[in-house]
Amino acid sequence: MTETILELKNISYKYPGASDIALDDLSIKISSKEKISILGKNGMGKSTMFLISNGVIRPAKGKVYLNGDEVSDKKADLFNLRKTIGLVFQDPDSQFIAPRVFEEISFGPLNAGKSQAEAKTIVEKIISDLEISDLEEKSLYSLSGGEKKIVSIASVLALEPKIIFFDEPTAGLDNINTARFKRVIDGLYKRDIGLVISTHEVDFAWEWSDRTIIIKDGRVFADGPSDMIMTDKDLMAEAELRRPYLVEFAERVQKNSDEIIYPRSLEDLEKIL
């Protein structure tokens, strides 16, 4: 049994001045070392859920628990939440604090009370793991979109989180940087970091995630194994999502079989055909 690390319980939230509620009695439990995709149309509350998970915004109603303990508004509690639950923003620029790459990645560990030497060791390891030593001395403003994304991941990693939330990480990335992103998350998973990724790319979500959560109108509309959720035609249609191509394809070519085998990757597909 894996234990719940983060629990959102009956969370509701409305942005100041907004007419509609962003989150409406939303509850989710997340354990260590999960691979979760968060699906949902624009405006359904995914980003708000991420901001609450990491303590950037506090819920108006409901509670956040970290390792079973309620997260209060106290500085120490929020600090602990932000350290344990990393958040990679959709727009890296809104995450950056320092002017240069090395300082940006060092900021978290130094702020968490590490010495210069300790911080340097942590940062150098991350820079080497993510293969970004060529960027170390650069100004953040001189980086490309893909480079900014990797640096924003690096600065979250420097806090040594247990779970990292990525808000639409591949939006705006080219093929090379998307492939690089996928290598990076594989590496993180191997280092026992749980991953929660919001995305509009259902084909990626299908191939990658074990669990899928669909957010609709600020609520959890569906939550379960990806191969249950993403194959469910009615459920996906009701959430106004398309099913992965591999799922559609599998059903078409196995129309006459009693039990449909769903390939999770092109390699799986090859074996079936």
Ligand X SMILES: Nc1ncnc2c1ncn2[C@@H]1O[C@H](COP(=O)(O)OP(=O)(O)O)[C@@H](O)[C@H]1O
List residues near ligand X by CB under 6 A: 15, 18, 20, 22, 40, 42-48
Residue closer to ligand X by CB (options 22, 188) is 22
Q: 153-189 b/e with 16+ CB inside 10 Å = b?
A: bbbbbbbbbbbbbbbbbbeebeeebbebbeebbeebb
Cα separation, 58 vs 14, in Å, equals 11
Nearer to ligand X, 15 or 245 (CB): 15
Of 173 and 246, nearer to Mg ion (C-beta) is 173
101/213 with CB nearer ligand X: 213
> Rounded to 5 degrees, what are φ and ψ at 167?
-95, 105
Q: Of all residues in this chain, which one has the CB nearest to Mg ion in the complex? A: 47
Taking the complex as a whole, how short is the minimal distance between the CB of residue 43 and ligand X, in angstroms? 4
Length in residues, the chain: 273
Token pair recorded at residue 210: 């074990």
Task: Assess 48 for contact with Mg ion (CB under 5 A).
Answer: no
**Of the two residues 46 and 148, which places its CB atom closer to ligand X in the complex?**
46
Token pair 């983060």 in the structure block, residue: 6
170 touches, from Mg ion, ligand X, none (C-beta below 5 to 8 Å by class): none
CB 194 within 8 A of CB 211: no
Determine the size of the site formed for Mg ion (CB under 5 A). Answer: 2
Cβ pair 206, 230 in contact under 8 A: yes
- Binding at 79: pick from Mg ion, ligand X, none (beta carbon under 5-8 Å per type): none
Among Mg ion, ligand X, none, residue 22 binds (CB under 5-8 Å by kind): ligand X
CB of 115 to ligand X, least distance (A): 37
Q: How far is the CB of 187 from ligand X (least distance, A)?
A: 26
Q: State how far the Cα of 225 lies from the Cα of 227, in Å rounded to an integer.
A: 5
Q: What's the N-to-C CA distance of the chain in angstroms?
A: 36
Comparison of 39 and 132: residue with beta carbon closer to ligand X: 39
Q: What does 104-147 look like in DSSP terms, one character per residue?
A: HHHHHHHHTT--HHHHHHHHHHHHHHTT-TTTTTSBGGGS-HHH
Which of Mg ion, ligand X, none has residue 219 at its interface (CB below 5 to 8 Å by kind)?
A: none
Calculate the alpha carbon distances from 141 to 101, 103, 145, 147 in Å. Answer: 10, 13, 10, 10
The one segment of 39-47, 94-102, 207-215, 255-263 that binds Mg ion by CB under 5 A = 39-47
222, interface contact from Mg ion, ligand X, none, CB < 5-8 Å by kind? none
Fill in the per-residue mask, 12 to 31: x = in contact with Mg ion (CB under 5 A), - = not in contact.
--------------------
